[in-house]
Chain A
Amino acid sequence: MQKNIQTEKQSRSTETPLSPNTSRKAGFFRCFSRCKGWLYLLPAMLFLGFFMVYPLIDVFVYSFEEGYNSASQTYFGTGTYNYSYVLHDPYFLQALKNTFLLVIITVPLSTGIALLISIGLNSIKPLRNFLQTVYFLPYVTNTLAVGLVFMILFKKTAYSDGLVNLLIQWFGGKSVDFISGPYWAKMFVLCLYTIWVVMPFKILILTSALASVNQDYYKAARVDGTSKFRTFMRITLPMISPMIFYLVITGFIGAFKAYSDAVALFGTDLNAAGMNTIVGYVYDMLYGDSGGYPSYASAAAILLFAIVLTITCINLLISRKNVHY
């Protein structure tokens, strides 16, 4: 793209000069052509400005109005009390911990498994289309309904231990209550469900990425007699590394926003289950039993935004170092 811009600049500077009248018109056109970009951008900017930027500023303002209460529509004053309140709240810190764990576990795992599956898919000929369709199914369905199914499969009731526990017992282990049991079990189910939900997309991207790698490289490698593993590490991986990093970046962003997955598994009272996420905390604050506090919710949301921004920047910098062409 650098080249394109440079050549365009050159071509413009080599234009022949025009007579005064036409140059005025040309001047008008040039101005028009420069503003044209903004014109084309205008609809998108209107929508985004109204429905994304304005709320963002609104939330930012709320976060500095201390203790704003929805029912009474009043607040104490302006300052950083909201941030202080949120950072002192043990449930926010719990939500922080849950979200971080979720991100750290699910993003690498899901990308890794998606990579393995894509490689597997690419190496087989029959059934490939069928399997691709099957793997895309979770993307299409309602996450609340599927979460319910997961909950039923994992939950221990008075009558039965649940299907998954039956499987575990069949292999000789002890049954565990995944939905109302120890923290590690609940985290496990949440991570499993999250991975299940994000896989279709990653598999789709990676299979097309793998398919678009130039076959000549592989042929050359085979002529040289390189082992499969080396081919993978030296050719395949670098060629699809932009895609992988992109999935990692967007995976991080998406995992930080996790909420509906947790609700689908554990119900709306996430604090009682100890499985709240940051976004869940924001929602809880908005609808609290004492009237709802958009101020605390906004402070928590801004903190989340800051965290996501930081991690995305770090990711971009790392990807710049590691992405190959």
Chain B
Amino acid sequence: METGNTHISVVYKVLLRALSRIRHLRPRVLALAAMPGIILALTGCHGSRGLDAFAMPQSFDTARQYEITFWAKNDTNKTQTAIYEKAITDFENLYPNVTVNLRLYTDYGKIYNDVITNIATKTTPNVCITYPDHIATYLTGVNQVVPLEELFDNEKYGLGGGEIRYDSPAKAEIIPQYLEECAFGGHYYAIPFMRSTESCYVNKTYVEKLGYQLPDTLTWDFVWKVSEAAMAKNQEGNYLINGQKVLIPFIYKSTDNMMIQQIRQKGTEYSTQEGEILLFSDATKQLLETVAEHAATGAFSTFKISGYPANFLNAGQCIFAVDSTAGATWMGCSAPLIDISADKLVEFETEVLPVPQFDPANPQMISQGPSVCIFNKDDPQEVLASWLFAQYLLTNEVQIAYAQTEGYVPVTSKARQSAEYQDYLAGSGEDNTLHYDVKIKATRLLLENVENTFVTPVFNGSASLRDAAGQLIEETVKSIQRSQTVDDAYYDKLYKDLASRYHLDGLSRPTETYAGEKDKLGPLPGPAVFLLVSLACAWALIVLYVISKKVRKK
């Protein structure tokens, strides 16, 4: 008998024998007795009372050393990384007792996940680039994020304060609209860092080739009309407009913005300020039906389904590419950053226009861009040091340098009106790197449209709602491409699916309160019952089998 082959049986015998050793009760009893103790100890460990509220210290203790962490987002752009690092070096020269540790991210979502993980271990960063939606969730913990009004208004260390070692802007020198965007629940929780909006990059050459004149402000009708007209093919299956096999006339990068802006342009919101969801309405259904209609002909697609709009635009395979103004650095045939091979580029004239509107007289566009928040710590001096660094990000050097990397605008009027920035704007077209004309056109678009920008309501869970809005469009287009029936019943089902996927049911709570109450759950759904019943039956059978074997042995 090969001993090598007996081991499974041996294991099994061991298991059975161990199971039958119920006689040896003492160790088991001891272990069982210890369990409640362990469990109690652990339950005590879960949950925390949060931190104490931040109290502004009288003065900044320059004798102590501080080490603060700064979590920053960059668009995988090495120039931006360099700007952060330079800002840190300059700040550390001004304040030698503060060391700043930089951690880079390329995705807001990952920053959000890591912050949440770190709240439990009290290792949140000091300064963090974030979105107000996420701050609303951080706020559900007690005193996690520092409210900033006291810091703003402090004479010594506030905005434009007397004892600041660099030239920080006064509160009035920050664009009021952007500052207001960072306020909710009655407090300021962040300072704006950079702002951008969405714009439509148009292949003007192709539009005129199709026989249309580009208006100053695009309308949805115009865009759909031109896109459909471009879908004409010749006999070999190549598109007439570009002579290639591939053409997607209208590509939208962030479908959540698409849905939100359309709803806003129609005169409603996608939720109330308190978080009551208005997204799943008939008006939304109509918007989706239009999208479905044009996705069916292949005239419309999204980034998640097809790829970067810039790549299609630059290869002459797209006419209307909607992306953030920050993405201007990649748009156009002479863009400084190109992601496709150079021989695929097509010559055309790029025009930068606001996103399509329903009412051209009242344009509405989303305002987006990173903001900076400060996390509370036990040591108020550390918080003050963090505030000093965060404020440094508002100085002209950092604002202008960062805004020049992509189509961002500085958030301070001080930076905007500076000679350096004005020179930069005036140099549009001088070269195809720093003064790339499409990028500057996009920047100017935002500068001229500040009053027409808006933000969405911020509450705990607004990030999920935003994702759900985008997914409405993504799912519709995907289903169309898979030739599924997209009708009223489909939309109803889609609403339900997304509401449960993003856990939107219990969302209507104001910020700064507990994260929800127990939702009333209905009866268990079929598969769940099946699972529980099968588990129970399986164990019953196992126990019966083992007992019967023992009985038979006896």
Chain A interfacial positions (CB closer than 8 Å to B): 1-2, 57-58, 60-62, 65-76, 78, 81, 84-85, 87-91, 93, 96-97, 157-159, 177, 180-182, 212, 214, 239-240, 242-243, 245-246, 271-272, 287-292, 303, 306-307, 310, 313-314, 316-317, 319-320, 323, 325
A72-B141, A87-B524, A158-B306 are known contacts; what are 13 more A-B pairs with Cβ within 8 Å? A57-B39, A61-B42, A84-B524, A180-B305, A180-B478, A242-B7, A242-B9, A272-B474, A272-B501, A288-B503, A289-B464, A291-B515, A320-B8
Assess A58 versus B12: contact at CB under 8 Å? Given A69-B140, A84-B521, A317-B545: no
A310 touching B5 in the complex, CB below 8 Å, given contacts A97-B527, A289-B464: no
**A49–chain B nearest beta-carbon distance, Å:** 11
Asked whether A88 lies within 8 Å of B528 as measured between CB atoms, the reply is yes
CB of B256 to closest CB in A, whole Å: 12
Contacts of A84 in B (CB 8 A): 521, 524
Q: How far is the CA of A272 from the CA of B502 in the complex (A)?
A: 10
Given the interface contacts A62-B46, A89-B500, does A73 sit within 8 Å of B119 by beta carbon? yes
- Of B11, B46, B478, chain A has the most CB atoms within 10 Å of the CB of B46
Given contacts A76-B517, A158-B307, contact A96 B531 (CB under 8 A): yes
Please report the C-alpha to C-alpha distance between residue A60 and residue B43 in the assembled complex, in whole angstroms: 10
Q: Are B478 and A158 in contact (CB under 8 A)?
A: no
Q: Does B276 contact A (CB under 8 A)?
A: no
A104 vs B191: C-alpha distance when bound (angstroms): 53
Q: B99 within 8 Å of A by Cβ?
A: no
* Residues on A with beta carbons closer than 8 Å to the beta carbon of B463: 289-290
Decide: A290 and B1 in contact? CB cutoff 8 A.
no
A93's nearest neighbour on chain B, judged by CB, is B527
B500 partner, pick from A67, A91, A287, beta carbons under 8 A = A91
CB-nearest residue of chain A relative to B10? A1
Name the residue of chain A whose CB is nearest to the CB of B534: A310
Query: Which of A57, A88, A307 touches B522 (beta carbons < 8 Å)?
Result: A88
* Pairwise interchain contact A290-B515, C-beta atoms closer than 8 A: yes
A261 to B7, CA, bound (A): 31
Q: A289-B463, A289-B502, A290-B515 are in contact. Are A307 and B528 (CB under 8 A)?
A: no
Listed by A's residue number, 8 A-B pairs whose Cβ atoms lie within 8 Å are A67-B515, A67-B516, A73-B50, A76-B517, A158-B246, A246-B8, A291-B116, A316-B12
User: Which residues of A have CB within 8 Å of B113?
Assistant: 287, 292
The answer to whether the Cβ of B22 comes within 8 Å of any Cβ in the partner chain is: no
Q: Is B120 an interface residue (CB 8 A)?
A: yes
Contacts of B138 in A (CB 8 A): 71
Partner of B518, one of A76, A287, A306, A314: A76
The smallest C-beta distance from A295 to any residue of chain B, in angstroms, reads 9
Please name the residue on chain B nearest to A239 by beta carbon. Answer: B5
A313 to chain B, nearest CB (A): 5
Residues of B within 8 A of A180 (CB): 305, 478
Q: Do A323 and B8 touch (CB < 8 A)? A: yes
Docked complex Cα distance between A62 and B518 (Å): 16
Let me know if B501 and A91 touch, CB within 8 A: yes
A325–B527 CB distance below 8 A = no
Shortest beta-carbon distance from B515 to chain A in Å: 4
Residues of B within 8 A of A307 (CB): 531, 535
Contact check: which of A75, A93, A158, A245 meets B8 at CB < 8 Å? A245
Tell me the bound Cα distance from A68 to B507 in angstroms: 16
Assembly CA distance A44 to B280 (angstroms): 55
A41 to nearest B CB, angstroms?
Answer: 14
Minimal Cβ-Cβ distance residue in A for B464: A289
A88 touches B47 (CB 8 A): no
Q: Are B246 and A90 in contact (CB under 8 A)?
A: no
- Is the Cβ of B137 less than 8 Å from the Cβ of A57? no
Contact B38 A57 (CB under 8 A): yes
Q: How far in angstroms is the closest Cβ of chain A from B422?
A: 41
- B55 at the A interface (CB under 8 A): no
Is A71 touching B542 in the complex (CB atoms < 8 A)? no
Is B211's beta carbon under 8 Å from chain A?
A: no
The minimal Cβ–Cβ distance linking B312 to chain A, given in whole angstroms, is 8
Q: Are A290 and B9 in contact (CB under 8 A)?
A: no
Query: Any chain A CB within 8 A of the CB of B58?
Result: no
Q: Tell whether B460 is near chain A: CB-to-CB under 8 Å.
A: yes
Question: Contacts A70-B120, A290-B464 known; A75 to B307 CB distance under 8 Å?
Answer: no
Chain A residues with Cβ under 8 A from B116's Cβ?
Answer: 70-71, 287, 291-292
When chains A and B are docked, how far (Å) is the Cα of A283 from the Cα of B475? 23
Does A71 lie within 8 Å of B119, measured CB to CB?
Answer: yes
- Chain B contacts of A245 at CB under 8 A? 8
Chain B residues contacting A61 (CB-CB under 8 Å) are 39, 42-43, 46
For A212, list chain B residues within 8 Å (CB). Answer: 2, 4
Partner of A289, one of B6, B8, B306, B461: B461
Contacts of A320 on B, CB cut-off 8 Å?
8-9, 12
Query: Do B117 and A306 touch (CB < 8 A)?
Result: no
Closest-CB distance, B42 to chain A (whole angstroms): 5
Which 10 residue pairs across A and B have the least CB separation, nearest first? A72-B140, A87-B528, A289-B464, A69-B515, A242-B8, A287-B113, A93-B527, A292-B116, A72-B515, A73-B48
Complex contacts, A325 vs chain B, CB 8 Å? 1-2, 5-6, 9
Contact in complex: B47, A289 (CB < 8 Å) = no
Scoring B residues 1 to 41 as 1 if CB is less than 8 Å from chain A, else 0, what string do you get?
11011111111110100000000000000000000001100
CB-CB < 8 A to B48: which residues of A?
A: 73
Residues of B within 8 A of A89 (CB): 500
Bound Cα distance from A225 to B516, whole angstroms: 75
Alpha-carbon separation in the docked complex, A81 to B520 (Å): 10
> Is B471 a contact partner of A66 (Cβ separation < 8 A)?
no
User: Do B119 and A68 have beta carbons less than 8 Å apart?
Assistant: no
Q: A22 to B15: give the CA distance in the assembly, Å.
A: 38
Q: How far is the CA of A93 from the CA of B527 in the complex (A)?
A: 7
Task: Tell me the residues in window 501-541 of chain B with beta carbons closer than 8 Å to chain A beta carbons.
Answer: 501-503, 507, 514-519, 521-522, 524-525, 527-528, 531-532, 535, 538-539
- Name, among A2, A91, A317, A319, the residue most crowded by chain B CB atoms within 10 Å (CB to CB): A317
The answer on a CB contact under 8 Å between A68 and B46 is: yes
Across the interface, A310 reaches (CB within 8 A) one of B39, B305, B307, B538, namely B538
Separation of A66 and B519 alpha carbons in the complex (Å) = 11
Alpha-carbon gap, A242 to B4, bound state (A): 9
Q: Which residues of B contact A158 (CB under 8 A)?
A: 246, 248, 301, 306-307, 312, 317
A180 CA / B6 CA spacing, docked (Å): 47
B482 contacts A by Cβ under 8 Å? yes
Q: Which residue of B lies closest to A53 (CB)?
A: B38
**Distance in angstroms between the alpha carbons of A17 and B355 in the assembled complex:** 98
Shortest Cβ distance from residue B21 to the other chain A in the assembled complex, whole angstroms:
14
Instruction: Report which of A73, A85, A177, A240 forms a contact with B141, defined as CB distance below 8 A.
Output: A73
Partner of B527, one of A60, A96, A317: A96
B515 in contact with A71 (CB, 8 Å): yes
Given A74-B47, A214-B2: A290 and B42 interface contact (C-beta under 8 Å): no
Chain A residue with minimal CB distance to B46?
Answer: A65
| Chain B minimum-CB-distance residue to A97 | B527
Nearest CB of chain B from residue A198's CB, rounded to whole Å: 20
